[in-house]
Amino acid sequence: MTHAPSPGPGAGDRPTLTNRQGHPVHDNQNQRTVGPRGPATLENYQFLEKISHFDRERIPERVVHARGATAFGYFESYGAWGEEPIERYTRARLFSGRGKRTEIALRFSTVIGGRDSAETARDPRGFAVKFYTEDGNWDLVGNNLAVFFIRDAIKFPDVIHALKPDPVTFRQEPNRIFDFMSQTPESMHMLVNLFSPRGIPADYRHMQGFGVNTYKWVNERGETHLVKYTWMPKAGVRSMTEADAAAIQAEELGHATRDLREAIDRGDFPEWELLVQMMSDDEHPELDFDPLDDTKTWPEQDFPPRPVGRIVLDRNVRDNFAENEQIAFGTGVLVDGLDFSDDKMLVGRTFSYSDTQRHRVGPNYLQLPVNQARAARVRTNQRDGQMTYYVDEGGENPHVNYEPSITGGLYEDGGPGHDEQGPLLSGRLTRARIPRTNDYLQAGQRYCLMEPWERDDLVHNFVSQLGRCDRPIQRRMVWHLLLVDDDLGLRVGDGLGIGPEDVSDLEPLPNQRLTDEDRARLARLG
């Protein structure tokens, strides 16, 4: 039953509230009852629709990166490196031509806390960019720290379980975190970053972003290069100590989301430059690390980061749920000219993202406006499923939702495909670590590059967290840190009352591979 809308008392010419069926709401203060004191009636559609929609307001939060903030803007390509066109290396059209613009969405996040948790946490920050290109969407899903804890996707649930709250006490426990890390030597490089001031960025506008994993660029001739991506903030990089973070956290939990929103609102549009490091697409036996290992960075003197464009964020979300909670990124979302590498994390990530999004948002998550390929035409024969929002524009004959057909419908492109340009693969199916693990060298180099106050902060943070761990975990961590860098290991050990002589009896972990330099260091300990 509907009635003509009538403005309520004092409403003036404000729009009339309706329910989802478009019926005007005459009374939003009182449910329908038999007499003023009830009982209520069940045929009260307006009330039931309101409450039952409310009951379903939450969708599962992201299993990681639950707290985040999204903003929109554009990517502008530089088109060339000096005289050299970028097209020489990638045929991805968003990079072609100086000044070419592509709409983007960018979601920043913390990793471990829930949807309403503090943004002052010591935690990596997500830096996920969706490019709405003319060839469909490209997602570059990165973090603010250049490396990661692990190099094989099979360990991701373990590292996240260790970092998340204890399943019994529901508290984040240093003992659980360092229990796992102390058995995972490849995590040392990430830990040296995470427990330094970089582990608490001042806010989202003053942090870098990194693709972390290794990808490929493919040019018109099918030639491939390995690439790594870096985002550099025009505003500079700023970090916080634990004391800074504690002071902010006493006041508010969402300072970084607020900072981003306010900056965009006042027209101070945040900007980052995108840089690309590149190397030939092979195993690079001359390097002391594997280019497909995401616990390593590529030395800048050998592989100089070259700027390819910039992004500007100039619009805030209109609705947090629609555009921040439901946005969905994935490492499998690539366009022609950009490709995967065999990085063992990347392949696992590529399965995981769309898998979780079909569960978290629903099987038709790609129909939502924020996830649609805005600048490219989408026409599929996919049909139905929960919350189907529209029917893809098919061919001329709407009865044909299959392919091939001689009566209409969609038809495959039929143009030259690029799949045949893929690499020739051969090898025994196996479960094995990569040969060049080299877990400590870059972690030590990173420590040496830090300013004195950053080192002090790192040592302080390690000591305070490890101080809450069991003795065997402390000893193993000191053993690792001595292998990372003498000074770091000695200082952290000092803070915990553990000298090199207290750990000299520890053997390398099972299946751990040490370099000659590692062995020499161990011998010095003994």
Binding residues: 353
Binding mask 270-299 for ligand HEM (x = CB under 6 A): ------------------------x-----
Residue numbers in the known binding site for heme are 353
The four Cα atoms 88, 89, 93, 94 give a dihedral, to 10 degrees, of -120
Q: How far is the CB of 171 from ligand HEM (least distance, A)?
A: 23
CA nearest neighbour of 323 among 66, 103, 56, 106 = 106
Residues 6+ apart with CB under 8 A from 357: 328, 330, 365
Q: How far is the CB of 301 from ligand HEM (least distance, A)?
A: 23
153 binds ligand HEM (CB under 6 A): yes
Residues in 198-227 at the binding interface with ligand HEM, rule: CB under 6 A: 212
DSSP-assigned states of every residue in 150-204: -SSGGGHHHHHHHHSPPTTT-S--HHHHHHHHHT-GGGHHHHHHHTSGGGSBS-S
The four Cα atoms 106, 110, 114, 115 give a dihedral, to 10 degrees, of -30
CA nearest neighbour of 327 among 365, 270, 382 = 365
Instruction: Write out the two tokens for 287.
Output: 């390097």
156 binds ligand HEM (CB under 6 A): yes
Rounded Cα gap, residues 134 and 344, in angstroms:
29
C-beta closer to ligand HEM: residue 207 or 410:
207
DSSP code of residue 500: G
Backbone angles phi, psi at 185, to 5 degrees: -60, -25
Residue type, 52: S
Q: Binder to ligand HEM among 40, 63, 387, 520 (CB under 6 A)?
A: 63
148 binds ligand HEM (CB under 6 A): yes
Catalytic residue of the set 19, 44, 65, 175: 65
With CB under 6 A as the rule, give the number of residues binding ligand HEM. Answer: 28
Q: How far is the CB of 497 from ligand HEM (least distance, A)?
A: 35
C-beta closer to ligand HEM: residue 260 or 327:
327
Rounded Cα gap, residues 363 and 357, in angstroms:
8
353 binds ligand HEM (CB under 6 A): yes
C-beta closer to ligand HEM: residue 212 or 450:
212
238 binds ligand HEM (CB under 6 A): no
Q: How far is the CB of 113 from ligand HEM (least distance, A)?
A: 13
143 is catalytic: yes
Contact call for residues 32 and 1 (beta carbons, < 8 A): no
Contact call for residues 164 and 112 (beta carbons, < 8 A): yes
Catalytic residue of the set 137, 143, 213, 324: 143
Active site residues: 65, 143
Please give the residue ranges that form the binding site for ligand HEM (CB under 6 A): 62-65, 68, 107, 109, 126, 128, 141-143, 148, 153, 156, 212, 294, 327-329, 345, 348-349, 352-353, 356-357, 360
